[in-house]
Structure 1
Amino acid sequence: MSTQPDHYATLRISPDATTREISRAYRTLLRTRHPDTRQKVDDGDTTSAADLQELHAIMQAYVVLSDPGKRAAYDRARRSAGGTGGTPVKVRFHRSGSTTAQREQSPIAFGPSRWEPSPRNLKTPRSNP
């Protein structure tokens, strides 16, 4: 499970968005969420902690996605953390004839790989006459 936030979802844009789309989404969200510009008439000039956290997440997402270097690093980390992309890999494993108690502790047994030479490698080397 990844601990980093999804900046694309925060700004409500797709991962292949252009720089212009990123700044447009940021400015639109900032206008609607910022305490100085929001349209709530009866809020009594109070800002909840959740509103401030959401505003902070929007600004943080913009800082990361607007810089090409930071965005590339974020995308690499996102892919390696199991985000979108990647292909599933089939994994085969063999269980040894262990007892039930041992299986509960360690369901997968890892061991050395087995190498069997091919018939071509079994021939004896020729000696020079």
Structure 2
Amino acid sequence: MTSPSPDYYAVLQIPHGASQQEIARAYRALMRRHHPDVASGEAVPAELQLVMQAFATLRDPKRRAAYDHELLAATAGEHQPASKPQNIPVHVVRHREPPLRVTPVRWESGPWT
């Protein structure tokens, strides 16, 4: 089994046991630092996409648990000899995640207005 690429915890620069609040705080800090509207277009869109994917995965408890399980399995697989491939039933269909939709942020609306 190959390790999930990239490590979303490293992307957000947080420890693996980070709380939901720490995840959100790290995401907001990275977006403030690298967003093209703020950073004068210095950020690479692919890096921002990666930050958004990491946040989308780690903020949802179910997706985070699945991702952590995949990380654990990949780490355990690195220390064991290669096993023979498993047969996957034909009726098992793996769905790809839909692409993230990026929309403008409307700072003028919210509880502070």
Q: Place the TM-score, normalised by the shorter chain, in its bin.
A: 0.5 to 0.7
| Alpha-carbon separation, structure 2, partners of 1:53 and 1:61 | 12
Question: 1:47 offset after TM fit, Å?
Answer: 5.6
Give 1:82 shift.
Answer: 1.3
For residues 45-67 of structure 1, give each alpha carbon's deviation from its aligned partner in whole angstroms, at most 9, with x where no partner exists.
x567xx11110000000000000
Number of aligned residue pairs: give it: 80
Task: Report 1 or 2 for greater relative contact order, CA contacts < 8 Å, sequence distance ≥ 6.
Answer: 2
Residues 34-113 of structure 1 aligned to structure 2 (within 5 Å): 34-38=35-39, 40=40, 51-82=44-75
Q: CA offsets per residue over residues 32-78 of structure 1, 9 Å max, x none? A: 1110011x5xxxxx567xx1111000000000000000000000000
Paired with 1:63 and 1:47, the residues of 2 have a C-alpha distance of: 23
SS of the residue aligned with 1:81?
helix
The aligned counterpart of 2:99 is none
Unaligned runs of 5+ in 2: 82-113
Residues of 1 paired with 2:5 and 2:59: CA distance? Answer: 17
The 8 Å contact of residues 4 and 71 in structure 2, kept in 1 or not, is answered as no
Unpaired segments of 5 or more residues in structure 1? 41-45, 92-129
1:4 aligns with 2:5: yes
Structure with greater Cα Rg = 1
TM-score where L is the length of structure 1: 0.55
Q: How far apart, in 1, do the equivalents of 2:33 and 2:42 lie?
A: 13
Partner of 2:94: none
- For 2:34, give the aligned amino acid: R
Percent identity, please.
Answer: 43
